Structure 1
Amino acid sequence: MIVKYITKQTQLPESGVKNTIQLLNEDCTIPFISRYRKERTGNLDEVQIGEIVKYKELFEALEKRKIAILKALEEQNVLTSELKQKIEATQDLTTLEDLYLPYKKSRKTKAETARKKGLEPLAKIIMSQNANDIESIAHNYVKGDVISVDDALEGARHIIAEWINERSDVRNNIRQQLERFAMISTKVVKTKADDEKAQKFRDYFDWEESLTRIPSHRLLAILRAESEGYIRVKIEIDNERALDKIESRIIRSNNACAEQIVLAIADAYKRLLLPSLSNEALQIAKNRADESAISVFAKNLKQLLLGSPLGEKRVLAIDPGFRTGCKVVCLDAQGQLKYNETIYPHPPKSDAAGAMKKISSLADAYKIEAIAIGNGTASRETEAIIRKIHFKNDIQVFVVSEAGASIYSASKIAREEFPDYDVTVRGSISIGRRLQDPLAELVKIDAKSIGVGQYQHDVDQTNLQKALGGVVENCVNAVGVNINTASKSLLSYVSGIGPKLAENIFEYRNEYGVFTSRSDIKKVPRLGGKAFEQGAAFLRIKEAKNPLDDSAVHPESYKTVETMAKDLGKNVLDLIGNSDLLKKIDLKKYCSDSVGLPTLQDIIKELEKPGLDIREQAKVFTFNQNIKTINDLKEGQLLPGIVNNITNFGCFVDVGIKESGLIHVSNLSDSFVSDVNAHVSLHQQIIVKVLEVDIPRKRIQLKLYK
């Protein structure tokens, strides 16, 4: 049943879904399955496998809920074979909860109170719609706590209202109307209208829009404004039409009973159906908005993590500042701290000459190949001073994003790495290491703190964490990890490893020295066969005796490669990087039940360029040196910029000042833009045209020039 469910939801081939589920149940990871089990999955990629994982979890949650409901119904002695069949056949949670609704043990309700007064028989008579003189019949129920005919009829209507609320056909009809016609409207809370903090939400002080068509970023902004108490939100449909639809389903007479039912329908709609189902509709819209926002965040994070590394170069990193000075560190090619100091080139000390002399001497002493400057406070001023220095050697100067560096510098990971240094030194080290290898450094920071999403604190945090964790895992495994230099944080994201084994690897490395072969990995405590199978091919051993240990070829395929080499009268090393030799290999000859052409083609591709980094190398970028504040901007200017965030409504661009400018989606292209990522990518270097500068609100409107 699970295979059919997932196949229906994803439209993926049934055999691929079935085999992927088997692999997942065998504790295989997405990176491993997508890379090394292509024959079994039918060449499904990591995104498709991720979809299978998602719907597998939804199916399992649905089945778990079914079991709980069936158990509850059995305990109440109300489970009929027909109801059981309906529950077991249900394919979505909403329908399942509707089936269970009449049997839920609810808190004290008006209907339950009326039942205790003995008014359910009267409610049944009214619902039969056969009685004409219903008031006379109701008079028979005036006793005990029922003090009048009106009291009796009202209690009966409360019971009828509950019955109407529990009817799945009625609920589904209201759901359909909400789905097609619901409007979301907002009104400002008058006592908060003049609050300074409320002004960022002023567009939504009086707003109305279709709930189905509202963009995700706008809905999340509205819901944040509501949660902070600045506005009130309502979900509305045409009440008259909704009531007519319910009445047409229930009323089949034109007598006094019908009049009572009309009143009960109005009560059910206003008190039970609309509040419940409008909240449900809003939650569905919120879930859609969450999914969209999380998707944007995930795409941005992937681009950020796969940002261009400078590589193993000696780096001088500067965390700039005014009053407290600029924190300077020198790092070796592996990112190890060699020296740190503070310089004071800016006011109030203004020792620019001394700072330039110090940087020049450090560059010589530590054979610095590149300089990384954080992009925070005093960044432009520091960059200007650095560019005035006449270095003996050619040194590239980069401005590096500081987003999340302060989070890292105060973290447990940073304290473990640099216990003898304060947060300012750790922050500078992080800036330098980000230039050397963004992925290796950024995995140490909670992805939510990197600042490349929209409304990340408003979306479902569990789903966000799961999505971002998956992105980090996929990126780490796509690039591969040098096991002899990787941090615990980086190792923990390797397929099949996790935090505990990462710590064991780290401790083993500290005790016994570097790993010289992949087979050495098996010696790590608690790293068993399954973990080795899942992770070994993503762990690289530089300068290993076996060249395949520094490639993405899985150890299980080593024999195949050795056979290929032997058949050519060569050794494995002769195959590495030898395209002419590799072209002579007839791959069909090496196909077997477990290894097919997709895997063999991947092996050949890897042998051509073993361990090739899929990321582009970092490039130097220079902002317009005449633009220092928002006041220097003028409409019509063309400026170099770097994309520093992408959202569904456009992208934000750093043009070298404190405020980022917005390229609205309508200004990305002269034609319709459905996906911002199709036009720009995170950290892309672009040219923008200034369209509008709103200095009081500190807003900059830009257009993509090229």
Structure 2
Amino acid sequence: MGPSSSRIVYVKKKAENTVIKLEKEQKLEPALRDAILSCVSQQEVDHLVAPFKTTGKHTKAEKARSLGLEPAARAVLERPLFIQLQQYVEPSVDGRSTLNEVQTGVGHILADIIAKDKDTMEFIRGLCDSSSVEIESVKTSAAKKENSEKGKFSQHKRQESNVSKFSKYFGFRRNVHTIQNFEVLAMNRGEMLKVLRVRIVIPDSVKQSFMFWCLQKRWRPQGILPAPLATLLSEAVEDSYKRLISPLLCRKLRCKLTKNAEQSAIVLFGRNLRKLLLSSPMRGSAVLGADPGFKHGCKLAAVGPTGQLLTTALVFPQEPPQRNDVDAVRSIVLQHGCDVIAIGNGTACFETERFFSSLIQNKVFVPLDVKYCIVNEDGASIYSTSPQAQKEMPDVDPNMRSAVSIARRLQDPLAELIKIDAKHIGVGMYQHDVPEGALRDALTSVVQECVSFVGVDINSCSTVLLKHVAGLSNSMAERLVEYRETHGAFANREQLRAVKGLGPRTYLQCAGFIRVNPCTASIRKEIGHDVINTNNPENRKLGRKRKRGEAEIDDAPNPLDQTWIHPESYSIATKFLRWLGVQFSDIGSAHVRQKVESTLALETLQSLAEKMGTSGNTMQIIVDGLKQQLDFDIRTNLSQPIFRRNVLCFEDLRPKERLTGRVTNSTDFGVFVDVGIGKSGLIPKKYLGNCAYIINRIICPGGAFQSMTLKSLAWSKRFYRWHDVKASERKMLSQYCFPFPFPSERRHHSTGSRGPD
């Protein structure tokens, strides 16, 4: 369920609970009931219920009501000529002993009535919407002390840097209608860390317009209002605005800004995660994974083409490299044929990169042509101590498990990254500040979408991967894996029906996302129990449990099981193959693909659908499935990793040099990119051109940047498109800038860090 769907369900449930509560309190009228159930947002529900909320016992208005002053307050509004407040004075009663105390109590009740009035709140909201309401942040006094008395502001050294991080928001002010979502989240974090003090600033014109409207229109009593009562009403309106309405508006605005910003952060995280999970896999190669580190050294793990762990080692990359470390790395690389090295991007990444670069440049790995790639290692350390990692690698040191995970992330990003809680993958914006439940639900949906989109090989996938297939729960995924381990590999999709608990509905939902690869499928053990008789149409009916038939499911492989064609469409696909005049066993061959292409050149898709007796959409899926190779992976044409053989430094860069960069993160305020200089830099949003399109459609974590000359402020690690910089800024920037690539829609796979001159 997506964020929008969850919000709708929440509002509906809140409205129903509100109706039940008002019915118990006997405050519900038919019109109010219909209005509450028709609400589409939480704010609408709160707005309708506000007049019926019971004021707290310790509020000023409730204390005045307990003294019996509410009739006097109502009389001021309804019968001002017939009310004498002096009559309510009782010297023996605390709170009514003097006329001044009576007036104060009546004023508090009036302020409460005004603040709970529906028309009044609608008017003040309209005023705020049409006025320049702003949000302001200033440096706290505690943060100011930190500058002069270092160490007293924070207990930890890491916290001492918080002040400088939020320098942009010292004396910061923005209109609430134009402020960016990332600015709201930054201010909230600064406020949480006690670096910033944040408040909503409502202009005085709003108060003046509100006072005039209340006294001259909404709360103007009938007839002539005596001067003392006019003063009392005016003071009550002002008190209501200052003490009740204005703080409420500020809280509502802050809440609205925060919710919108959190929702934006969740959507952004989901978009980045989707693109990262769909990164192109690197199959068929042994990979050496390197988890960099200073104190505890660099952990190495060699994994085979299918991800199996081959060996581990520990080295200490230094300048110059030590002979024993060089020999250890060379031995692993040559012995296991690791022509690709995956280096984690954590602590000591740059030093480790220089170590391997020097080995490559010195031809240590000859005859292998070795290259390396920087891999996002976020969450690897958390995974290394998780129950899943302990189950997969029980005899491997947790530190070495991180290196294994880094290597596997390069081989198959989707299969490895889903083992980690998605919030620990650093491809978002303030993801640790948003509600954990909403983030978890959104990211779970993204992971399931990606897994179903790519498909899984039922004979090689793990339980962690399988449970994300649409229609399968964790328990069902465990049953499928257990069945595979007990009875041998699945030979075709139909054998899924033999698994206990996997009914017809679940089968139809998940079968299209499950592939059966003959390379991983072996001869299946004989099943010693009855399975579904698929030839009996009665057993295909949904929603009713049927007794299993006597016949067993055929063990013969079905080439269609390697495509994304759903079993429901197999009969149509078979009919289409006969119509083409090709053999069933030729599915996936160049001959079949060529035959389909030539047929589409002569026939429209709709005419083919009519001849096959199906819909255009189903025919499109069948045609697409038959046009692909059997081992087709839709991720192959998506973002590719960037491989390098040498490392760069700031000092190595020359004016107007062209480079290739890798996106490490995409946010609402810009993108972070890595060009192999040791640290990612930021390209601010304003220099990305049509940034909404670029960030949403082109730029994604792991994606490559085409080589177009850019400039960068070296001291701030901020990169710019040179031709987008204002002429007035170029003279200043040119003193400190170096070039940087700009993204292109054309996909790029680089084997070096520099492009053509």
TM-score bin (small chain):
0.7 to 0.9
Match of 2:109 in 1: 159
Match of 2:144 in 1: 193
Residue aligned with 1:193, SS? helix
Task: Report the identity percentage.
Answer: 32
Q: Distance in 2 between matches of 1:301 and 1:691?
A: 27
Residues in 2 aligned to 1:549 and 1:97: alpha-carbon distance in whole angstroms:
53
Inter-CA distance 659–70: structure 2 relative to 1 (3 Å threshold)? same
**Deviation per CA, 1:14-64, whole angstroms, max 9, x where unpaired?**
xxxxxxxxxxxxxxxxxxxxxxxxxxxxxxxxxxxx7xx555444433332
> What is residue 423 of structure 1 aligned with on the other side?
398
Partner of residue 606, structure 1? 625
Q: Give yes or no for contact 1:175–1:281 (8 Å, CA) kept in 2.
A: no
Change (3 A) 1:322 1:121: closer
Cα distance in 2 for residues equivalent to 1:466 and 1:603: 33
The Cα offsets for residues 146-186 of structure 1, whole Å up to 9 and x where unpaired, read as 21122122212222212111112211222233334321112
Structure 1 position 561 matched with structure 2 position 511 = no
Matched, 1:220 2:185: yes
Query: How far is 1:274 from its partner?
Result: 1.4
1:235 to 200, 207, 211: 200
CA displacement 1:270-289 (0-9 Å, x = unmatched): 22111122111111111111
- For 2:506 and 2:276, the matched residues in 1 are separated by 28
Does 2:295 align with 1:305?
no
User: In 1, are the aligned partners of 2:388 and 2:419 still within 8 Å (CA)?
Assistant: yes
User: In 2, are the aligned partners of 1:327 and 1:428 still within 8 Å (CA)?
Assistant: yes
Show the 5 A alignment for 1:393-472. 393-472=368-447
Match of 2:355 in 1: 382
What is the SS of the residue equivalent to 1:251?
Answer: coil
- The separation in 2 between residues aligned to 1:462 and 1:304, in whole angstroms, is 22
Structure 1 contact 443–490 (Cα < 8 Å) conserved? yes
* 1:579 paired residue number: 593
2:65 aligned with 1:115, yes or no?
yes
| Amino acid across the alignment from 1:255 | P
Superposition map of 1:85-96 within 5 A: 85-96=34-45
**Which of 693, 701, 716 is the matching residue for 1:682?**
701
Deviations 1:418-455 (A, max 9, x none): 11111221011111111111111111111111111111
Change beyond 3 A, Cα 1:58–1:292: closer
Structure 2 regions of 5+ residues with no counterpart? 147-159, 522-556, 722-739, 743-757
Instruction: Give the aligned partner of residue 364 of structure 1.
Output: 334
Q: 1:619 to 1:161 in 2, by over 3 A?
A: closer
Which residue of the partner structure matches residue 353 of structure 1?
323
1:639–1:655: 8 Å Cα contact kept in structure 2? yes
Q: 1:178 to 1:634 in 2, by over 3 A?
A: farther
User: Matched residues in 1 for 2:691 and 2:416: separation?
Assistant: 37
| Conserved 8 A contact 1:552-1:611 | no
Give yes or no for the alignment of 1:255 onto 2:275. no
Worse-matched range after superposition: 533-542 or 309-318? 309-318
Aligned residues of 2:576 and 2:612 also touching (Cα < 8 A)? no
| Cα pair 1:516 1:541 within 8 Å, conserved | yes
Separation (CA, whole Å) in 1 of partners of 2:50 and 2:412: 54
TM-score (norm 1): 0.85
Match of 2:238 among 266, 277, 282: 266
Is 2:122 aligned against 1:147?
no
Task: Compute the displacement of 1:632 (Å).
Answer: 6.4
SS in 1 for 2:266: helix
Aligned-residue offset at 1:226: 0.7
Q: How many Å separate the matches in 2 of 1:107 and 1:236? A: 27
**2:729 aligned partner:** none
Secondary structure at the counterpart of residue 147 of structure 1: coil
Separation in structure 1 between the aligned mates of residue 296 and residue 558 of structure 2, nearest angstrom: 51
When residues 690 and 89 of structure 1 are mapped into structure 2, their CA distance, relative to the original with a 3 A threshold, is: closer
Structure 1 stretch displaced more, 123-132 or 227-236:
123-132
1:129–1:255 Cα contact (<8 Å) kept: no
Partner of 1:664: 684
Is contact 1:325–1:346 with CA below 8 Å preserved after alignment?
no
Are 2:677 and 1:651 equivalent residues in the alignment? no
Structure 1: give runs of 5+ residues left out of the alignment. Answer: 1-49
Q: Give distance in 2, aligned partners of 1:484 and 1:566.
A: 30
CA contact (8 A) 2:75 2:83 kept: no
Is the partner of 1:452 in helix, strand or coil? coil
8 A contact 1:621–1:685 mirrored in 2: no
In the TM superposition, residue 654 of structure 1 has moved relative to its aligned partner by 1.4
- Displacement, 1:217? 0.9
Change (3 A) 1:95 1:390: closer
May I ask how many residue pairs the two structures share in their alignment?
647
SS, match of residue 432 in structure 2: coil
Name the residue aligned to 2:564. 552
In structure 2, how many angstroms separate the alpha carbons of the residues matched to 1:274 and 1:218? 23
Q: Which residue of 1 aligns with 2:312?
A: 340
Shift of the 658–170 alpha-carbon distance from structure 1 to 2, 3 Å rule, reads: farther
**CA offsets per residue over residues 210-230 of structure 1, 9 Å max, x none?**
111111111111111111111
1:370-410 residue CA offsets vs partner (Å, 9 max, x unmatched): 33222331332232133132422334432322222212212
The amino acid that maps onto 1:547 is P
Cα 1:168–1:631 change in 2 (3 A) is: farther
C-alpha distance in 2 between matches for 1:225 and 1:243:
35
Task: Provide the TM-score with structure 2 as the length reference.
Answer: 0.80
**Kindly tell me: are residues 460 and 591 of structure 1, through their superposed partners in 2, closer, same or farther at Cα, counting changes over 3 Å?**
farther
Q: Distance in 1 between matches of 2:112 and 2:318?
A: 72
Correspondence for 1:211 among 161, 168, 176: 176
Aligned counterpart, 1:8 = none
- When residues 624 and 372 of structure 1 are mapped into structure 2, their CA distance, relative to the original with a 3 A threshold, is closer
Q: Which residue of 2 aligns with 1:101?
A: 50
1:215–1:334 Cα change, 3 Å: same
Relative to structure 1, is the Cα distance of residues 177 and 623 closer, same or farther in structure 2, using a 3 angstrom cutoff? farther
Give the Å deviation of 1:662.
Answer: 0.9
Q: What code does the residue aligned with 1:221 have?
A: A
Q: Matched residues in 1 for 2:456 and 2:91: separation?
A: 79
Assess, with a 3 A threshold, how the Cα gap between structure 1 residues 699 and 571 changes in structure 2: closer, same or farther: closer
Residue 97 of structure 1: how far off its partner (Å):
1.8
CA contact (8 A) 1:251 1:258 kept: no
